[in-house]
Amino acid sequence: MAEPGTMAERWREVARVVADGVAVTEGEIVGIFLTDHESFAAVEAFAAEVYRRGAHPHVILTDERLDRVALELSDAASLARVPVIEAESMRLSDVHVSFRGMVPPDRLDESDAFPAKLAAQRKAKGVISGLRWQETRWAIVRVPTLAWARYRGIDPDVLFDEFFAGCTLDWQHEREAWKELADRLNRTEVVRIVAPDTDLSLRVGGRTAVVFAGEANWPDGEVATAPLDHGVDGYITFADAFTFASATFSGLRLEFRDGAVVSVSAAEGEEVARALLDTDDGSRRVGELGIGLNPSMSRWTGDLLLDEKILGTVHIALGRAYPECGGTNRSSLHWDIVKDLRPGSAGGAGSIYFDGEPVILDGSPVW
Parallel, antiparallel or unpaired: strands 242-244 and 29-34: unpaired
Which is it for the CA torsion 92, 31, 279, 106, positive or negative?
negative
Fold of domain 4-167: Thermophilic metalloprotease-like (3.40.1830)
| Section 285-296 average pLDDT | 97
pTM above 0.85, yes or no: yes
Cβ-in-10-Å burial (0-12, 13-18, 19+) of 73 comes to exposed
Per mean pLDDT, which range of 17-31, 66-80, 183-197, 214-228 is the poorest? Answer: 66-80
> What pLDDT digit, counting tens, does each position of 211-233 carry?
999 988 899 999 999 999 999 99
Q: Measure the CA–CA gap between 144 and 127, rounded to whole angstroms.
A: 26
> What pLDDT digit, counting tens, does each position of 121-163 carry?
989 998 998 899 899 999 999 999 999 999 999 999 999 999 9
| Section 337-348 average pLDDT | 96
What band does 15 get if pLDDT is binned at 50, 70 and 90? very high
Helix, strand, coil % (nearest 5) of the chain? 35, 30, 35
> Is 50 exceeded by the pLDDT of residue 282?
yes
Per-residue confidence (pLDDT) for residue 2, from 0 to 100: 46
Angle between helices 114-135 and 64-73 (to 10 degrees): 140
Per-residue confidence (pLDDT) for residue 187, from 0 to 100: 98
Instruction: Please give the C-alpha separations between residue 198 and each of 114, 117, 237, 254, 366, in angstroms, as whole numbers.
Output: 30, 31, 6, 9, 20
Cβ-in-10-Å burial (0-12, 13-18, 19+) of 29 comes to middle
What's the whole-number average pLDDT of the chain? 94
- Residue 99: phi and psi, rounded to 5, are -105, 110
Domain extents in the chain: 4-167, 171-365
| Section 84-103 average pLDDT | 96
